[in-house]
Amino acid sequence: MRKESNQQETAGDTGQEITTDGGSGTGGDEAGEAADPVENGNFTVPDDIQPGIYYDIPNEAYHAGPGVSKSQLDDIADTPAIYLWRKNAPVDTEKTKSLDTGTAFHCRVLEPEEFSKRFIIAPEFNRRTSAGKEEEKTFLEECARTGRTVLTAEEGRKIELMYQSVMALPLGQWLVESAGYAESSVYWEDPETGILCRCRPDKIIPEFHWIMDVKTTADIQRFRTAYYDYRYHVQDAFYSDGYRAQFGEIPTFVFLVASTTAECGRYPVEIFMMGEDAKLAGQREYRRNLQTLAECLNNDEWPAIKTLSLPRWAKENANA
């Protein structure tokens, strides 16, 4: 697997692209690199993957591979044992097959050339006739064979309207159309703990050192405060430090947020960036989480018990 090395030899400087099929990008290969970990079409991220930025790691391989991510730090912040549980607990794949509008919208915005390969809008079938039922069955079987996710006409229409709403916002259009890399994988070693960290920015624009993260929400106004519960300020700090470890620059990190709920017939779109206080709080929090993880790894102790305290509205508190 070919990679790009830290800081000075960057995509922003060389335009290097990495492929897993033996093809070449616009930059040169790095000497002494391991062979592609691809066997029978299955990509596996090696445990000894080196710090750098990789543009060709499939999403499933990234999530199954080494390194601690922001979502795993969320588990550490909850209870350290949850970190292990999520790595080892079985997944009911039948429960993960349902369409996530956010996933389809994400693909439409970031990887438009992949959208038609991954999704298909179902035509209308006359289920009142045997012929119509047979046509639908054949259609669904073909979609299952090709691995494409089926969208209803209404779902497809909504996703396209949301996408066009993004493009109607000048900065939104610039973020979408600017040259960059979607779904690249960044790996770096935390200097204080020695832990391998990783992140997968929705899009990086190396020329200007921007990171864009795409979010969907049912209530765009609530996002202004709900971001804290989802620890998006931690994501900003964690990704930004990872970007700096690779590119040697502090990026401009923005959240492009699209509403899944129409207001007066339009799907609102807004772009947010964290204030300095939120960025610093996010950095302190992820550093605390990394330190906790390091202690758990060193001691092989993973606290699992949570304490239940009386809620604020409990009558006992009122009488205290």
How far is residue 194's CA from residue 186's CA, in Å, rounded to a whole number?
16
CA 68 to chain centre: 14
pLDDT-flagged residues of the chain (< 50): 2, 7-41
Torsion of CA 150, 152, 155, 157, to 10 degrees: 110
Give the burial string for 112-128 (b: 16+ CB within 10 Å, else e): eeebeeebbeeeebeee
The domain of 65 spans 11-19+49-88+179-295
Note the pLDDT of residue 12: 37
**Rounded-to-integer distance, Cα 133 and Cα 142, Å:** 14
Give the whole-angstrom CA distance, residue 112 versus residue 160. Answer: 11
| Strand positions, DSSP E, the chain | 38-39, 42-43, 52-54, 119-121, 149-151, 181-182, 185-189, 196-199, 203-205, 210-217, 252-259, 269-272
Query: Domain for residue 108, yes or no?
Result: no
Cβ-based burial of 31 (10 A; exposed 0-12, middle 13-18, buried ≥19): exposed
Residue 107 lies in a domain: no
Partner residues linked to 199 by β-bridges? 186
Q: Is residue 31 part of a domain?
A: no
> To the nearest whole percent, how much of the chain has pLDDT over 90?
66
The model's pTM is: 0.83
In a domain, 220, yes or no: yes
| Secondary structure element (H or E) that encloses residue 14, with its range | helix 11-14
Res 1: pLDDT: 56
Q: Does some domain include residue 231?
A: yes
The answer to whether residues 65 and 186 touch, using CB atoms and an 8 Å cutoff, is no
pLDDT number for residue 62: 96
Interatomic CA distance for residues 36 and 3, integer angstroms: 10
Are 172 and 271 spatial neighbours (Cβ–Cβ below 8 Å)? yes
Supply the pLDDT for residue 18: 33
Roughly how many angstroms between the first and final C-alpha of the chain, as a whole number?
A: 63
Q: Are 30 and 5 in contact (CB under 8 A)?
A: yes
Report the pLDDT value the prediction gives residue 35, as an integer from 0 to 100.
Answer: 34
DSSP codes, 127-172: TTSHHHHHHHHHHHHHHHHHTPEEE-HHHHHHHHHHHHHHHHSHHH
Does residue 278 fall inside a structural domain? yes
Give me the number of domains the chain comprises.
1
Task: Write down the pLDDT at residue 138.
Answer: 86
At 170, which amino acid appears?
A: P
pLDDT at 216: 95
Q: Is residue 141 part of a domain?
A: no
Q: Does 227 fall in a domain?
A: yes
How far apart (Å, rounded) are the C-alpha atoms in residues 220 and 166? 14
What are 42's strand-pairing partners? Answer: 39
Q: DSSP H helical segments within 147-275, as ranges?
A: 153-168, 170-177, 223-229, 232-247
Residue 237's CATH number: 3.90.320.10
Angle at CA of residue 241, ends 248 and 275, nearest 5°: 115
Are residues 125 and 135 in contact, defined by beta-carbon separation less than 8 angstroms? yes
Do residues 281 and 233 make contact, with C-beta atoms less than 8 angstroms apart? Answer: yes
What DSSP element (H or E) covers 279? helix 276-299
